């Protein structure tokens, strides 16, 4: 069985919280302090969020790139696939990455002072540093499919595994029960 089909089955059965199919997974192996931030594609609030995020990260010296991905989660009527945009931001050092993570928590996490289109639990993935307010997880990758888990054991065989960090608010969102 193809990894994506096996992942779909695990998500549909509630044994996996979700996964992404990404055009660019290079952030998983970044040597420089790097973060990625995801938002919905073709959505007016997300477009504003994209512009604000790009501007904020540029202001603190990030080297930026954008790529497409599809997010897959379970919904009430089956699997839900969403088109998303991923902004990758690489920084000169871990100190600047710390500022970027704090900025995401302050301005790009849903709340009264947040930029419109911000998510309640931003999909922020960090490589190359361990900023405060983040926790370590395992990223399991099969070509372009990526899922995150607390366990180093992949839910489907033949994964490439690496450590990434996410915002600590993600701790209860993952379901590593395979």
Q: Give me the residue spans of the domains in the chain.
A: 3-172
Count of CB atoms within 10 A of residue 157's CB?
A: 8
Largest CA distance in the chain: 46
Is residue 128 scored above 60 in pLDDT? Answer: yes
Give the E-state strand segments of the chain in sequence order: 19-22, 34-40, 63-75, 78-90, 124-127, 134-142, 145-149, 160-167
For 129-177, how does the pLDDT look when each residue is reduced to its tens digit (9 = 90+)? 999 999 999 999 999 999 999 899 999 999 999 999 999 998 888 765 5
Judge whether residue 53 has pLDDT over 90: yes
CA-based nearest residue to 18, from 76, 88, 100, 79: 79
């Amino acid at each position: 069985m193809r990894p994506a089909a096996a992942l779909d089955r695990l998500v549909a059965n509630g044994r996996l919280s979700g996964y992404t199919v990404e055009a660019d997974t290079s952030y998983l192996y970044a040597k420089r302090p790097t973060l990625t931030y995801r938002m919905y594609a073709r959505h007016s609030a997300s477009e504003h969020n994209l512009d604000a995020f790009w501007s904020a990260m540029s202001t603190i010296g990030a080297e930026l790139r954008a790529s497409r991905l599809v997010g897959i989660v379970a919904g009430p009527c089956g699997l839900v696939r969403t088109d998303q945009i991923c902004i990758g931001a690489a920084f000169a050092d871990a100190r600047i990455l710390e500022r970027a993570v704090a900025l995401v928590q302050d301005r790009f996490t849903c709340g009264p002072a947040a930029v419109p289109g911000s998510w309640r639990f931003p999909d922020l993935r960090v490589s190359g540093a361990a900023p405060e307010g983040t926790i370590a997880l395992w990223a399991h990758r099969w070509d372009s499919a990526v899922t995150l888990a607390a366990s180093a054991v992949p839910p489907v065989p033949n994964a490439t595994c690496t450590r990434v960090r996410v915002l600590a608010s993600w701790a209860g969102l993952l379901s590593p029960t395979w």
